[in-house]
Structure 1
Amino acid sequence: MMSTALLTGTPLAGRVAVVSGASSGMGAVTAERLAELGATVVVLARRKERLDSLVKNIEAAGGTALAPAVDITDRDAVQTTADQVVERFGKADLVFNNAGVQLISGIEELKVDDWQRQIDLNISGLMNVIAAFLPHLTDSAAQGKPADLINTSSIAATRILAKFSIISSRLGVPAGQNTGQLSGVSKRSASEPEDSSGHVDSPHPASTASSSLAALPIEPGIRCR
């Protein structure tokens, strides 16, 4: 049976964790928790002022954090950030790939700009982060050290929900990171490379408190970030 005991102490001391979508919601609280457990945390998002505030909170609690403001849809910018992480802290060995957007509409509304925005962030952004940091993880795993990749998916990946057809379908994209596509990416990544000792996971949470939650016309129980 899986233990549900709350971790204490600093079991992540010496590890370098990268958290995307860290300016609010699940990303922000996860970054704080990883730092509390001893990890050095690199927080990624576009909203620099929010990241700076998060870093101040982490440092005030005795942790170490870096906040490079970056748009993860910009592949070169993400790679530059990964290089900066190596220069400052060494290679990352824990990546929480959490950035995403959830724009709800009926498919008949033809909000194609919203569709594209979700594709750019939830799919391309996801892959940009993987491309930049996977070499870090595989190197750590090859040395027999911990290596963890966590891709946040959504409950919309597993259920049929009104006005979530674009988010959930293969023709559209995930809300909150992705749905079927993201879950599929995570499952396939978990088996590649075959000789790796790293770990890949893809949680499917429902609603989480974030700066965008109040603006969305959705019912309780539907996850957004």
Structure 2
Amino acid sequence: MPATLLTGTPLTGRVAVVSGASSGIGAATAQRLAELGARVAVLARRKDRLEALVETVRAAGGTALAVPVDVTDRDAVHAAAARIADQLGRPDLVFNNAGVQHVSGIEELRLDDWQRQIDLNVTGVMNMIGAFLPHLTAAADDGRPADLISTSSIAATRILAKFQVYSGTKAYISHLTRLLRVELGPRNVRVATIEPGMVDTELPDHVDDPDASALMAGLINDIDVLRAADVAETVAFMAAAPRHVNLTEITILPTAQAI
């Protein structure tokens, strides 16, 4: 287990929303936020996974709500936001985490893979912002902490062959966050990205390019890579900071990862 940065229940009274919560970083973060006192809504397409996660949170004494939704469906995300506000209270912490990774050479023209990444990694992110931003600004206006944290990647800045579309979507998220801070920082809404390196999750399972698969498998086998719980603890630390402190862009890498 990773060392924890936080103790007690510093997130008591907060309502958190986690997208991409059916596995990996999303599931681990939802659990950690609940452990720290937040009421947590978990969003993803896989209803069975969400229900199992909610059972785990409740068994540990936390509060969680499963909201099966495809974040690429704008109307469904807005409906989810209304349901969460009604059942848990107005959200003031949004972890915009849903994403997918496909890797291929540009000349392979995997158009469906390109579009899937754009739909989920860009449009899905924007749908979440559109649905939950009014809740965040209202929380900030009430004098409460308000956080919009999105999952980017070190791929946003690394130049890796065959990662062009995935890296482009993550660069979009990182730069969007910088731009949003110009507008939302003065409103006391904290906007941040977390940019992980190699994490041992199921995300690489979508990758069928042999070069990329070998790269990822090599890292997992050769070095002590990140666990989802490491990223979750970092997200929780960002959210638990004093209201006037915005940790805007955190890159989290395995110590031994050089690329």
Q: TM-score, normalised by structure 2?
A: 0.78
Provide Cα deviations, 1:59-92, integer angstroms capped at 9, x if missing partner: 0000000001000000000000000011112110
Letter paired with 1:184: H
Quick one: percent identity of the two aligned structures? 57
Rounded to whole Å, the distance in 1 between the matches of 2:19 and 2:81 is 12
Of the structure 1 ranges 188-197 and 77-86, higher mean CA displacement relative to structure 2 is found in: 188-197
Rounded Cα–Cα distance in structure 1 between residues aligned with 2:203 and 2:149: 22
CA distance in 1 between partners of 2:147 and 2:66 (Å): 20
The answer to whether the aligner puts 1:31 opposite 2:30 as a matched pair is yes
Q: Match of 1:203, SS?
A: strand
Shift of 1:206: 1.4
2:112 corresponding residue in structure 1: 113
Aligned counterparts of 1:165 and 1:143: Cα–Cα separation in 2: 42
Mapped to 2, the partners of 1:168 and 1:211 lie a distance apart of 18
Structural RMSD (CA): 1.8
TM-score normalized with structure 1 length: 0.90
Residue equivalent to 1:203 = 194
Aligned 8 A contact 1:106 1:166 in 2:
no
Contact 1:97–1:126, Cα closer than 8 Å, also in 2 = yes
**How far, CA to CA, are the matches of 1:219 and 1:25 in structure 2?**
20
2:178 alignment partner in structure 1: 187
Q: Does 1:153 align with 2:144?
A: no
Tell me if the contact between 1:70 and 1:77 (Cα under 8 Å) persists in the aligned partners: yes
**Which consecutive residues of structure 2, in runs of 5 or more, have no partner in the other structure?**
208-212, 221-225, 229-259
Instruction: Tell me the alpha carbon deviations over residues 10-36 of structure 1, each in whole angstroms, 9 at most, x when there is no partner.
Output: 000010000000000000000000000
Task: Give aligned pairs, total.
Answer: 213
Find the counterpart in structure 1 of residue 166 from structure 2: 167
Instruction: Mark the CA change 1:168 to 1:138 in structure 2 (over 3 Å): closer, same or farther.
Output: same
Question: Which residue does the alignment assign to 2:215?
Answer: 219
- Deviation of the 1:162 alpha carbon: 1.9
Q: How many Å apart are 1:213 and its aligned residue?
A: 2.8
Q: C-alpha displacement at 1:214, in angstroms?
A: 4.1
CA distance in 1, matches of 2:74, 2:199: 27
Larger helix percent: 2
| SS of equivalent to 2:45 | coil
Partner of 2:79: 80
- Distance in 1 of aligned mates of 2:121 and 2:187: 26
Q: Secondary structure at the match of 1:188?
A: helix
- Structure 1 ranges of 4+ moved more than 4 A: none
Unaligned runs of 5+ in 1: none
